[in-house]
Structure 1
Amino acid sequence: MGSLQESLNRFKKQQEKCQSTLKSIAGSKTTVKTTTPAPRVVPANTSTKLPSPPIKFSNDTERLQHINNIRKSPVGAQIKRVIDLLFESRQSFTAEQINEACYVDVKGNKAVFESLAKNPKVNYEGKRFSYKSKHNVRDQKELLRLIRTFAEGIAVADLKDAYPTVMEDLQALKAARQIWLLSNFDSQEDIAYPNDPRVPIKVDDELKQLFRAIELPRDMLDIERDLQKNGMKPATNTAKRRVMAQNGNIYNKPKQKKKKTEISKRTKLTNAHLPELFRNLNG
């Protein structure tokens, strides 16, 4: 860290020295122009050129100060900065590439290097660092295949960091009724369950008792309201049916009896070998 501050001080001194040198050069050029006679007469209508401004060097002090602040920050803050980079990019980086991307000197700081290599969210292969999620899935198909291996459910919190669009894919699988997303009674966390009849699901006796102990409302209107509160669409509309019943718009249509087809002489007979079927032919 001391070497970086010394480099910053030397850079400032070099800037001051260069500025003073440029000013002296610009002053000497102005003196020469005033004392040296013009080689030819300049026309009156020609505009004289103003002296060019002194050259300005780019001021990199703020960037160097920003890098210095990052490298002086606690090890945990630097580790978080690197993990955020690995999580958002989902690419592997060398120590030099991490330094260029987020200014964390992994190679020059032993504490940062050891903490990063041992972090459970980081995969270190000897040269490159990459993000390590709890479950190695990369798309919706692999996500569904993973959930189907957990017949008793898998916590959504364990899936959130699988890949950037995993939460959108979970909602898509729920909308397609390929999985269920339910909340755990004890931890209040969301659990993903497979909705596949081929997957055997074991239901605890305690859960069965809780389900059977739920008392449903006696009126269908209350049942439909409860379904709507929980984001489900009722298959019936009791309120509408009752209004129509009061207006006399609902009635039971009598079933029409099918006409019994009779066999006549004009009917083409295909079962001539069964004459007892055709005794009562209408003339």
Structure 2
Amino acid sequence: MSLQESLERFKKQQEKCHSTLSSIANGRNSVPPLPSAAAVKFSNDTERLQHINSIRKAPVGAQMKRVIDFLFETRRAFTPEQINEACYVDMKANKDVFDSLRKNPKVKYDGQRFSYKSKHNLKDKNQLLQLIRKFPEGIAVIDLKDSYPTVMEDLQAWKAAGQIWLLSNFDSQEDIAYPNDPKVPIKVDDDLKQLFRSIELPRDMIDIEKDLQKNGMKPATNTAKRRSAAQIQGASSKPKTKKKKSEISKRTKLTNAHLPELFQNLNSS
């Protein structure tokens, strides 16, 4: 092949390459693109999915507690689907959880929705006071705690207002609410009266204060501190003698001349 022919052939190849590149650039290339492999998708929410999986694999009791806590905090009724979205407990997939919640005394199920069920159906502060007044013998605070979210604050408010008493039960270390109403009769067993009367109190007030502190009560007095302060200040228990009023003497300047009866002694002398 001559040199001229080689040059012509090379020129044709360049023109062909240039035409191909132009077609590609202008989007007119008729050659179909090669099929790309399907992209592998990795979840960016792996931690949340692991958390949901751990909840659903937890024991039945743990899942029940999670749902009951959710119902207690919201105080609303939810379907199983809504509960699953809120706290990731799938009751439809776990029949044991569903049946256990349906029978739980703290849960109300109306056939469609679950809600929290307190021992006493109270809504506000006034209903709380009305209930306490129905129990002159006292009602346990633990039975009132779950009535509604602010019940404990309302108990303290009624106590501060003098409407109720909150006393501790030494056996169970729990508070008992009593109505502070003079019209409500309070019955005391004869055995309790006899026990109270048979208790012999210490003669010294310091010993009484120590017994109160031993039983978890704060004495209203502090006899030891008072006696110590009296010794430091040298306080005496003897009554002070009153000074005798001085009589009017001749050196007293008479200014109340219009009351001569006050100075009869002086004039007579």
TM-score range, shorter chain: 0.5 to 0.7
In the alignment, the residues of structure 2 paired with residue 239 and residue 187 of structure 1 have an alpha-carbon distance, to the nearest angstrom, of 37
> Which residue pairs with 2:128 in the alignment?
143
In the alignment, the residues of structure 1 paired with residue 219 and residue 148 of structure 2 have an alpha-carbon distance, to the nearest angstrom, of 29
Tell me which amino acid in the other structure corresponds to 1:218.
R
Q: Secondary structure at the match of 2:115?
A: strand
- Aligned pairs for 1:226-241 within 5 A: 230-231=217-218, 233-234=220-221, 239=227
Deviation at 1:239, TM superposition (A): 4.9
1:71 alignment partner, one of 56, 69, 80: 56
Q: Secondary structure at the match of 1:210?
A: helix
In the alignment, the residues of structure 2 paired with residue 221 and residue 209 of structure 1 have an alpha-carbon distance, to the nearest angstrom, of 25
1:119 alignment partner, one of 98, 104, 118: 104
> Which residue pairs with 1:164 in the alignment?
149
In the alignment, the residues of structure 2 paired with residue 127 and residue 97 of structure 1 have an alpha-carbon distance, to the nearest angstrom, of 11
Q: Secondary structure at the match of 1:80?
A: helix
The alignment's C-alpha RMSD in Å is 3.6
> Which residue pairs with 1:211 in the alignment?
196
> Which residue pairs with 1:176 in the alignment?
161
> Which residue pairs with 2:71 in the alignment?
86
The answer for unaligned runs of 5 or more in structure 2 is 1-20, 26-40, 243-269
Say whether the 8 Å CA contact 1:140–1:166 is kept in structure 2. yes
Per-residue CA shift, 1:132-171, capped at 9, x if unaligned?
Answer: 1111112322222111111111112211211223223323
In the alignment, the residues of structure 2 paired with residue 253 and residue 130 of structure 1 have an alpha-carbon distance, to the nearest angstrom, of 78
> What is the total number of aligned residue pairs between the two structures?
204
In the alignment, the residues of structure 2 paired with residue 253 and residue 97 of structure 1 have an alpha-carbon distance, to the nearest angstrom, of 86
In the alignment, the residues of structure 2 paired with residue 232 and residue 95 of structure 1 have an alpha-carbon distance, to the nearest angstrom, of 54
> Which residue pairs with 2:184 in the alignment?
199
TM-score (norm 1): 0.59
- Aligned pairs for 1:87-102 within 5 A: 87-102=72-87
Identity value in percent? 70
Q: 1:201 to 1:245 in 2, by over 3 A?
A: farther
Q: Secondary structure at the match of 1:181?
A: strand
Deviation at 1:252, TM superposition (A): 8.8
Per-residue CA shift, 1:92-135, capped at 9, x if unaligned?
Answer: 21111101100011233222211111110001122211111111
Tell me which amino acid in the other structure corresponds to 1:200.
P
Q: 1:73 to 1:245 in 2, by over 3 A?
A: closer
Per-residue CA shift, 1:186-244, capped at 9, x if unaligned?
Answer: 44433222121111111112221232233334345655676687236459996599679
Q: 1:186 to 1:57 in 2, by over 3 A?
A: closer
In the alignment, the residues of structure 2 paired with residue 105 and residue 180 of structure 1 have an alpha-carbon distance, to the nearest angstrom, of 45
In the alignment, the residues of structure 2 paired with residue 105 and residue 95 of structure 1 have an alpha-carbon distance, to the nearest angstrom, of 7
